[in-house]
A = this chain, B = another copy of it.
Amino acid sequence: MEWKTAGLDDLPVYDKLVKLARNPFDLTAPGAMSPRRIASYKASAAGFDLLFSTQRVDDAVLHGLQQLADQSGAVDQFLDMKRGAVMNRIEGYESENRQVLHTACRDIFHEPPYNDGATQQAKKQLADLEVFLAQLDRGEVVNAEGKTFTDYINIGIGGSDLGPRALYLALSAYAQKNRRVHFISNVDPDDAAAVLQNLDLGRTLVGVVSKSGSTLETLTNEEIIRAAYARADLKPRDHFVAITGQGSPMDNPEKYLRSFHMYDYIGGRYSATSMVGGVMLGFGLGYAAFIDILRGANEMDRAAEERDIRKNPALLLALLGIWNHNFLGCETVAVLPYSQALLRFPAHLQQCDMESNGKSVTRNGERVSISTGPIVWGEPGTNGQHAFYQLLHQGTSIVPTEFIGFRKSQHEMDLEVKGTTSQQKLVANMLAQALALAAGQKDTNPNRFFAGNRPSSVLLADKLTPYAMGGLLALYEAKIVLQGFIWNINSFDQEGVQLGKVLANRFLNHMTIVDQGGVQDRSRHPGSWAMLEAAAIFKEDRRV
Flag the segment in A37-45, A140-148, A465-473, A475-483 that touches B. Answer: A37-45
Q: How far is the CB of A90 from chain B (nearest CB, A)?
A: 5
B-chain residues with CB within 8 Å of residue A433 when the two chains form the complex: 500, 503-504
8 Å CB contact of A387 from B188, B354, B460, B499: B354
Is A351 interfacial (CB-CB < 8 Å)?
yes
Q: Which positions 355-402 of chain A face chain B at CB distance < 8 Å?
A: 355-361, 365-368, 370-377, 379-383, 385-397, 399
8 Å CB contact of A394 from B395, B458, B495, B543: B495
Is A159 interfacial (CB-CB < 8 Å)?
yes
Flag the segment in A98-106, A274-282, A439-447 that touches B. Answer: A439-447
Taking A531-B434, A542-B439 as contacts, is the C-beta distance between A340 and B188 under 8 angstroms?
A: yes
Q: Which positions 407-428 of chain A face chain B at CB distance < 8 Å?
A: 409-411, 413-415, 417-428
Contact of B425 with A504 in the complex, beta carbons under 8 Å: yes
B-chain residues with CB within 8 Å of residue A418 when the two chains form the complex: 216, 508
Contact of A413 with B189 in the complex, beta carbons under 8 Å: yes
Contact of A387 with B158 in the complex, beta carbons under 8 Å: yes
Is A538 interfacial (CB-CB < 8 Å)?
yes
B-chain residues with CB within 8 Å of residue A446 when the two chains form the complex: 90, 93, 361, 365-367
- A510-523 interface code vs B (CB 8 A; 1 in, 0 out): 01100100000000
Is A292 interfacial (CB-CB < 8 Å)?
no
Q: How far is the CB of A1 from chain B (nearest CB, A)?
A: 21
B-chain residues with CB within 8 Å of residue A460 when the two chains form the complex: 527, 530
- Residue ID in chain B nearest A394 by CB atoms: B496
8 Å CB contact of A428 from B387, B395, B504: B504
Q: How far is the CB of A357 from chain B (nearest CB, A)?
A: 8
Contact of B377 with A396 in the complex, beta carbons under 8 Å: no
B-chain residues with CB within 8 Å of residue A373 when the two chains form the complex: 391, 395-396
Is A223 interfacial (CB-CB < 8 Å)?
yes
Contact of A385 with B435 in the complex, beta carbons under 8 Å: no
B-chain residues with CB within 8 Å of residue A508 when the two chains form the complex: 418-420, 424-425, 428
B-chain residues with CB within 8 Å of residue A375 when the two chains form the complex: 332, 375, 377, 391, 397, 399
Flag the segment in A67-75, A190-198, A315-323 that touches B. Answer: A190-198
CA–CA, A44 and B528, complex, Å: 11
Q: How far is the CB of A52 from chain B (nearest CB, A)?
A: 10
Contact of B500 with A436 in the complex, beta carbons under 8 Å: yes
Q: How far is the CB of A463 from chain B (nearest CB, A)?
A: 11
8 Å CB contact of A388 from B350, B382, B542: B350
Taking A441-B543, A531-B53 as contacts, is the C-beta distance between A497 and B393 under 8 angstroms?
A: yes
25 A-B contacts (beta carbon < 8 Å): A33-B535, A39-B528, A173-B194, A187-B382, A187-B425, A190-B339, A192-B413, A220-B415, A223-B417, A331-B331, A354-B390, A355-B390, A358-B393, A359-B396, A370-B396, A372-B395, A375-B375, A375-B391, A376-B388, A420-B511, A428-B511, A429-B500, A432-B503, A447-B490, A460-B527
Beyond the given A365-B445, A374-B397, A436-B503, please list 20 additional residue pairs across the A-B interface where CB-CB is below 8 A: A35-B536, A42-B528, A51-B531, A162-B383, A189-B414, A190-B339, A190-B409, A194-B340, A350-B388, A354-B387, A361-B447, A361-B449, A377-B377, A385-B500, A389-B496, A393-B500, A419-B508, A431-B534, A432-B534, A441-B543
